[in-house]
Each structure stands twice: as C-alpha cells, then as structure tokens.
C-alpha cells in the first residue's frame, strides 16, 4: 500500500460521503418545508421528531387557510392578494429592466463610445453598493414625493437593483456573438436598432430569457425595501413581506405559514429549473478567464 493507493481510495470514499452530505444540507430544508406545510400545528407539537407523515395525518387545510380572504374565512391569511402584488411588482420591474438593460448591454458590448469604461464602472458600483445605505435616503426621498407606500416606488427600486447584474449577464453573451454576423447587416445599411432587434436578439434569446428569469427572482425574493416601504399597509404586502410579518406573531399557526413558505418558494424553484443551465453560464461568464 503506497501513498498513491491510500490517497486514491480514501478520496474515492470521501467523495461519495461529501456528495451525500451536500445533498442532505441543500435538499432537506426544502423537504422539511413541504412536509410541515401539510400537517396541523397540533400534530407537529405532539410528534416533533417525525421525518415522514403518515397519510392519514396529511391535511390541505393549511393551504386553504393561507390563501383565503380573511373577510370571508375565519383565520384566512390573504396570500392570494400577496401573490397578486408580488407578481405585479416583479413582472413590471422585469419588463422595464429588460428593455433598459438590453440596450445598455448592447452598447457596452459592441460600441466603443467615449466614456464606455466609466459607464461600466458606474454599473459595477451600483451592483456593489449596500442596499441598507441606499435605503435611508430613498425612504426620505420617497416619503417626500409620496411614493413610499406605493407599489410604484418598489418597482423603481427593483429596476435599479437589477439593471447592473442584468447588463453584466447580457453583455457576456452579446460578446460571444460573432461580429461578422452583424457586420453583414451593417453593410446592407440596416440601422443599429434594427440589427439589434432582428439579428442579435433572436440569437441571444436563451440568455435574454434566463436573465429575465433571474431578474424576476431577485424582485420576487426582495425583502428590505418591501419592509421599509409597505410594512404599514397589509393590503399591499408582497408574499415575502407578508410571510415575514406574520411569522413574527404568535396568532397564526406555524404550519399554515409553512404552506405560505411553499407558495413563496415554488414559483422560484420552477423558474430556476427552466433556466438553470443558462443561468449559471450567464452569471459566471468571464470567470473562467481567471
């Protein structure tokens, strides 16, 4: 047994142990979330250590309650309304961010205009800028102009927070499209925007879609600004904000809120499953250059 064999064998075993451990820590919390969303709180308190729930104890009452309108159902938590708010805010922010950042990314990737480096640096600065520092003046500013309690204010903040990362992802992709394809179009006298619309965008569609999904995810998951702007107005809560506000209290059964967590998480996991490959490529683009 020399050192080479010992190491190779040990690492061979360790590798599988590591993979099992990683799968456990990444998947188990989500399994636990789903499991607890189908039991009553009394059940959980009586049997705290269960990892599997017998079929007879499963209930969908938690989901019925969390989605119900409190006006109509005793103990309803109004998540249907929160879902609507979240969808509107994340959807509108994504649409505007995409229009703005496709233009921006194309310009930064393709046009060597004066000040291009400074513009890129500005975007990087915004990306790295702490949200909490931005929060103070924005709360002051939005309170002054009456946007603080509105979904519009939230949409504006989300656009600013997502444009830099969106430009970064799209730019990486635009740079991989051969110039010759576009040059051929230029020669025909096509205008820049037409080239972008008819040639570059169709070629980049997969990456545009995955970037859009990522932007939607950020907006859907965002919590700090929703808390600062909308905490006082339950009818405008997003799903994230609604869940956190109710989780702090004691009056709502925790397993009902687990159903809320599942409702908050499922759309994101579905979108991620669709765009997973493109997403990792878009985010890490340029990293392999070291």
Partner 1 sequence: MRSAKQRRVDREGWSMVAPTVLVVVVVVVIPVLWNVLIAFQDLGYLEIRETSVFRNLTLDNFREVFGAEGFWRTLLTTVIYSVSATVGSIVLGLVAALALRRTFPGRGVVRAAMLLPYVAPVVAVAFVWQMMLNPQYGIANSLGTRFLGWDAPIDFLGRSPHALITVIAFEIWRYFPFAFMFIVARLQAVPKDIEEAAIVDGATPLQSFRRVLLPQLLSVMGLLAVLRVIMTFNKFDDVYLLTGGAAGTEVAAVRVYDYLTGRFDAGGAAAQSLVLSAVMVGFLFLYMWFLKRQGANQ
Tell which residue, 280, 225, 204, 285, has the closest CA to residue 90: 225
Radius of gyration of the chain from Cα atoms?
A: 24
Cβ(230)–Cβ(238) below 8 Å:
yes
Cα–chain center distance at 198:
29
Residues between 264 and 283 with contacts to partner 1, criterion CB under 8 A: 264-265, 268-269, 272-273, 276, 280-281, 283
Residues between 109 and 148 with contacts to partner 1, criterion CB under 8 A: 111-116, 119, 122-123, 126, 128-141, 143-144
Q: Which is nearer to partner 1, 137 or 178 (CB)?
A: 137
Rounded to whole angstroms, the Cα distance separating 225 from 241 reads 9
Q: Which is nearer to partner 1, 55 or 132 (CB)?
A: 132
Angle at 203 between CA 105 and CA 190, to 5 degrees: 75
Site mask for partner 1 (CB under 8 A), range 14-43, x = bound: -x--xx--xx-xxx-xx-xx--x-------
- Smallest distance, partner 1 to C-beta of residue 235, A: 19
Residues between 177 and 206 with contacts to partner 1, criterion CB under 8 A: 192
Q: Which is nearer to partner 1, 8 or 180 (CB)?
A: 8
Residues between 88 and 107 with contacts to partner 1, criterion CB under 8 A: 100-101, 103-104, 106-107
| One residue of 216, 258, 259, 278 binding partner 1 per CB under 8 A | 258
* Helix count and strand count (H, E) for the chain: 13, 0
Cβ(23)–Cβ(238) below 8 Å:
no
Q: Which is nearer to partner 1, 67 or 264 (CB)?
A: 264
Rounded to whole angstroms, the Cα distance separating 170 from 200 reads 11
Q: Which is nearer to partner 1, 138 or 151 (CB)?
A: 138
Task: Name the DSSP class of 199.
Answer: I
Residues between 55 and 94 with contacts to partner 1, criterion CB under 8 A: none
Q: Which is nearer to partner 1, 51 or 55 (CB)?
A: 51
Q: Which is nearer to partner 1, 233 or 280 (CB)?
A: 280
The count of chain residues that interact with partner 1, using the rule CB under 8 A, is 95
Tell me the torsion sign for CA atoms 194, 123, 134, 82. Answer: positive
Angle of the 201-221 helix axis to the 254-284 helix axis, nearest 10: 150
Site mask for partner 1 (CB under 8 A), range 204-233, x = bound: -------------x--xx-xx---x-----
Please give the structure tokens belonging to residue 275: 């765009």
């Amino acid at each position: 047994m020399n050192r080479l064999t010992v190491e190779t064998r040990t690492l061979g075993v360790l590798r599988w142990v590591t993979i099992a451990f990683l799968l456990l820590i990444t998947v188990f919390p989500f399994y636990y979330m789903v499991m607890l969303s189908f039991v009553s709180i009394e059940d959980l308190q009586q049997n705290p250590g269960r990892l599997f729930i017998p079929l007879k104890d499963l209930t969908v009452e938690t989901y019925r309650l969390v989605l119900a309108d409190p006006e109509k159902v005793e103990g309803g938590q109004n998540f249907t309304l929160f879902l609507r708010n979240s969808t509107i805010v994340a959807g509108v922010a994504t649409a505007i961010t995409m229009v703005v950042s496709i233009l921006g990314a194309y310009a930064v990737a393709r046009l060597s205009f004066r000040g291009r480096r400074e513009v890129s640096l500005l975007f990087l600065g915004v990306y790295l800028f702490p949200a909490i520092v931005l929060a103070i003046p924005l709360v002051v500013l939005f309170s002054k102009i009456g946007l603080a309690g509105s979904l519009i204010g939230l949409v504006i903040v989300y656009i600013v927070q997502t444009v830099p990362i969106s430009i970064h992802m799209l730019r990486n992709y635009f740079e991989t499209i051969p110039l010759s394809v576009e040059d051929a179009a230029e020669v025909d006298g096509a205008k820049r925007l037409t080239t972008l619309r008819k040639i570059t965008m169709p070629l980049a569609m997969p990456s545009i879609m995955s970037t859009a999904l990522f932007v939607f995810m950020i907006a859907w998951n965002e919590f700090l600004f929703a808390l600062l702007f909308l905490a006082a107005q339950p009818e405008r809560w997003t799903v994230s904000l609604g869940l956190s506000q109710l989780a702090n209290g004691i009056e709502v059964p925790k397993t009902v809120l687990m159903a809320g967590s599942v409702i908050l998480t499922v759309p994101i996991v579905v979108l991620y499953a669709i765009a997973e490959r493109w997403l990792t490529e878009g985010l890490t683009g340029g990293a392999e250059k070291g």
